[in-house]
Amino acid sequence: MTTPDSPAQIQVFQEDPEALKAWIKVQALELGFSDCVIARPDAQAELPRLQEYLERGYHGDMKFLEENLDKRANPTLLIPNTRSVICVRMDYLVESPEPRMVPDAPNSAIIARYARGRDYHKTMRGRLKMLSAKIKEKVGEFESRPFADSAPVFEKSLAENAGMGWTGKHTLLIHKKSGSFFVLGELFTSLELPFDEPTTKHCGSCTACIDICPTQAIVEPYMLDARRCIAYLTIEYKGIIPEDLRRGIGNRVFGCDDCQLICPWNSFAKTTTIADFHPRNGLDQASLLDLWQWDEPTFLASTEGSPLRRTGYQSFMRNIAIGLGNAPFNPAIIQALQNSRAQHDEVVQVHIDWSIQEQLSKSR
C-alpha cells in the first residue's frame, strides 16, 4: 500500500500538477487559511491603473508606491525563477458586525477590526513558511519566498486574476461567499502549477461604499484618494490632518471599516478560526479618555506585536485628540486635553487646540 509520503505518491504529484495543486489547497486550509488560489506571476494589467493613481497624487506621502513599478508588474523580476504564486487569504472577523451607518459609541476609540489583535503580517508569514515546508516534504526542494504586504507586490491583482474575488468600488477585494474582511498573503514559488482563472464582478449599480465614506475618499468607482482616506490619515500619514477632514474622522483612531460594513456582500463575511485576530488589551472596547492617559511606555507595552505600532505614539495621540474633539461635550475631556499638552509634540498640540475649541463650541 502506498503511504502519503512514499516515493510513488511524490512521483504522482510530479506527473500530475492538478493533483499537486489540489493537495496544496487542502494543506493551506488545514493551516488556517480561508482560501488558496494559484496565480500567474504577471500583474502587467494593473500597472496603467497604478500609474494613473500616482499621476493624480492620490498616494499622498506613500512614496514607496512610486518605486519598483517593474517588479510590481513582473514578479519574476522581484524573485527570479518564480513560476507560480500561491495566493492565500485569512478571514479576520471575530464576530459578525452590524452595519455601521453612522459613527456610534462616540466616546469609544474605534480601531479597525483587523488591527485589534496580533499583527497579521507575522501570522501570515509564519503560516506561509509552514505551507512551503509541507510542500517540500512532498515534492523535494524548490525555491519559495513568502510575502505579506512586505514588498513591491500587486497582491490584490494577483489574487483577483486567480479568482480569489473581484475588486469592489471601494478598491478592496470581495469574495462572493465571504465578503471582504480578510487579509492576503503570497508564496512565490518555482513550482510549475496550473493557474486558476478570474471570477466575475458583482458590484453592479451599488454605490453604498462610495456614499457612506465619511470623508468622500472614494472619488469615483474603483478609485480612492488616500489623502482623504481615514485609514491612510490615521495610520500612514504623520503630519497635521487637514481641518476639513477632522470631523469626518469622528472617533476612528486607527483605520476605518465603514466602506466594508455597508457592503451587502459582507452579510456573507466569515468569522476567523485564528486566535491571533482576537482583540488584545481591550482594544475593541477602549474609550478615548482612557487611551488619552497613555504615556509612551504604556503605548509601547500595550501595542507589542500589534499593528498599532505602525503609527508611533505621537500620531496615535493625534488621532485620539481628534476623536476627543468630535465626542459629545464633556468638561473632563477639555481638562484632560489641557493637562496633557506638554507631553506631546507640535503636531499633536495643533490637534489638541482644535479639539478644545470643538468641545467648547458644543458647550454653548
167 is in an annotated binding site: yes
87 is in an annotated binding site: no
What b/e readout covers 133-157, taking b as 16+ CB neighbours within 10 angstroms? eebeebeeeeebbbbbeebbbbbbb
Amino acid in position 283: L
What is the Cα–Cα distance from 26 to 20, expressed in whole angstroms? 10
Residue given cell 508569514 in the structure block: 125
The 3-state DSSP class for residue 223 equals strand
Residues 6+ apart with CB under 8 A from 293: 336
Q: Which residue has the cell 470631523?
A: 247
238 marked as part of a ligand binding site: yes
Question: Is position 209 annotated in a ligand binding site?
Answer: yes
Name the residues annotated as catalytic: 149
Per-residue 3-state assignment (H helix, E strand, C coil) for 242-299: CHHHHHHHCCEEECCCHHHHCCHHHHHCCECCCHHHCCCCCCCCCEHHHHHCCCHHHH
- Is 213 marked as binding a ligand? yes
Is 36 annotated in some ligand binding site? no
244 labelled binding-site residue: no
**Is 116 assigned a ligand-binding role in the annotation?**
no
DSSP 132-201: HHHHHHHH----EEEESS-SS--HHHHHHHTTS-EE-TTSSEEBTTTBS-EEEEEEEE----PPP-----
Residue 66 dihedral angles phi and psi, to the nearest 5°: -80, -10
Annotated binding site for tRNA: 238
Annotated binding site: 72, 149, 167, 173, 184, 203, 206, 209, 213, 229, 238, 256-257, 259, 263
Annotated binding site for cob(II)alamin: 72, 149, 167, 173, 184, 256-257
Annotated binding site for [4Fe-4S] cluster: 203, 206, 209, 213, 229, 256, 259, 263
